[in-house]
Chains A and B, each alone.
Chain A
């Protein structure tokens, strides 16, 4: 196995995981597919670009700003749009449409901001990349270390919060049965705000890392829209961990699959790599419509152990 390809696959999968996690988390907790999620990613990328352009330093220093801006936008969206719509008894489809309207607004603001940076400060804000500022540590570059580490940290933190804290139990209860949870005294609104805060924050981190990984422009987050939702569908919306499985499955199949196909069909096939997530999604919808998260791995392992013992 070519180690550099494995390296690229891990970075790609980790970035997909970071970008998609919030979509699934919000779907699980609030039953809303948040299309505007991609605009949080773009916004955070622009915040990092702005601070780096004005003050220099490593772009990684501005990661907390990415988190804050993503979380801030998500909470604004929840409080000003989703919550009022929910109080009026809007359907999940109508809430989905409202997130598209919010996406248009944020995208419009990003476009204006990008024009402003270009026209007033002469920054190359229409197309920028900051990967030349990346560092190297023990043979690994920063984007690899940060994207993968953040993904693991989020996974562990969420596991701990959801399993061992009262708040986590309240969150799970409100997901399973919001009416019953509110009867027992759980404030559903606060639980949702927390979920949107975390979801927006992780999107912000993904966005802040984006300029270190790929070319950025207004609407860069939107180019990942279909892939992000494919990851979410492939992972399933029953388990948060499904997203991580989905992102690594899609990321690895996309990178290694297209490489394998290029050996057979030639390098011209490489440009079709973005079709792979859609193909995986179609297969999952056909054969496993509830996604990977629905697979009971524990049960599978127990069954395998039982079979071995019998032998």
Chain B
């Protein structure tokens, strides 16, 4: 495959994963006002399900010897290669397992969102954010130290659920991720423009006013945590399935909480188009730096570090001079576009 196409496809895959994660954060923070600094928790949860489940289901389906299956984490590369050979003739099975795992991962993410919000949800603003941040690392420590779960520090090989498509694997991944993004944006747009979306914004803007109107603020805040965590887990599942590998060391707070926060604020909070723009700018920057790093080997350091410095500066400039981001929030649509046109005419 042409190196340029590979670059674009890889860029799109990372963009898709970050976009889904950032849309989750935008739903929680931008619309619901819940500062989820534990975003990495449900993201890791979704990826962990992808690392844990398909290999076990497919190992059982393809009758992989018990001697190997008794230590799945330790033998994951051998088991996954046997599974991949079998999946090459079963495209629908691969995609079916992918969909089931993504859904179960989302359910697990929702559960994590609910559990993590229990002790902290009554707290406010930055205090809530810091509590969620501290809670966010729990799964990381478990995954890192409990080897049978997902291979500890070594990680596990995830069966390649797109293996049937061979050289076109990356194109298929792009198509699937694109469908997920379109569906997600459509559903989120419907939600935020619905009466429920307006309740979310009301709660975000003035909790007291919202509760005086009879809205259960704690319950709605929990719901936004659960829905957002579900979407974040979807991103985690997508990421692990794309890499066909799960290694807990790659699920750090900086990459999967801090950077999404900065991307969302950079693009524009409570504006899904702003989030798309912010995500696109960051991911393109990251991929370009990674792509050209080998042309800059004369420098006494890895240029990859420049992306963090650059992102940090960009966000600071935005926060100081344009605090609402590149594309600020717009009023919610209470009427359909056709209805608006009709009224205008």
Contact = CB atoms under 8 A, between A and B. Distances in A.
Interface in A95-132: 96-98, 100-105, 107-109, 111-112, 115-116, 119-120
A108 B312 contact: yes
A99 to B, nearest CB: 10
Contact of A103 (B136, B145, B258): B258
Contacts of B309: 104-105, 108-109
A173 interface: no
B288 interface: no
A225 B253 contact: yes
B122 to A, nearest CB: 7
Contact of B261 (A33, A97, A275, A281): A97
Contacts of A115: 300-302, 305
A91 B324 CA distance: 12
Interface in B319-335: 319-320, 323
Interface in A261-292: 271-272, 274-275, 277-278, 281-282, 285-286, 289
Contacts, number: 136
B191 interface: no
Contact of A108 (B130, B262, B305): B305
A271 B169 CA distance: 39
B265 interface: yes
Interface residues of B, number: 44
A121 to B, nearest CB: 10
A153 B313 CA distance: 37
Given A103-B258, A226-B133, A281-B134, A92 B301 contact: no
A47 B305 CA distance: 19
A272 B120 CA distance: 22
Contacts of A91: 125
A275 B126 contact: no
Contacts of A271: 144-145
B295 interface: no
A225 B252 CA distance: 12
A119 B300 contact: yes
A120 B262 contact: no
Contact of B141 (A98, A101, A112, A272): A272
B277 interface: no
A93 interface: yes
Given A81-B316, A101-B262, A272-B145, A281 B126 contact: no
B206 interface: no
B142 A275 contact: yes
Given A101-B262, A108-B312, 5 more contacts: A93-B126, A97-B315, A104-B312, A108-B309, A281-B135
Interface of B: 35, 119-120, 122-123, 125-127, 129-131, 133-138, 141-142, 144-145, 253-254, 258-259, 261-262, 265, 300-302, 305-309, 311-313, 315-316, 319-320, 323
Interface of A: 33, 35, 81, 84-85, 88, 90-94, 96-98, 100-105, 107-109, 111-112, 115-116, 119-120, 219, 222, 225-227, 229-230, 232-233, 271-272, 274-275, 277-278, 281-282, 285-286, 289
Nearest 7 interchain pairs by C-beta: A115-B301, A105-B312, A108-B309, A108-B308, A104-B312, A271-B145, A111-B305
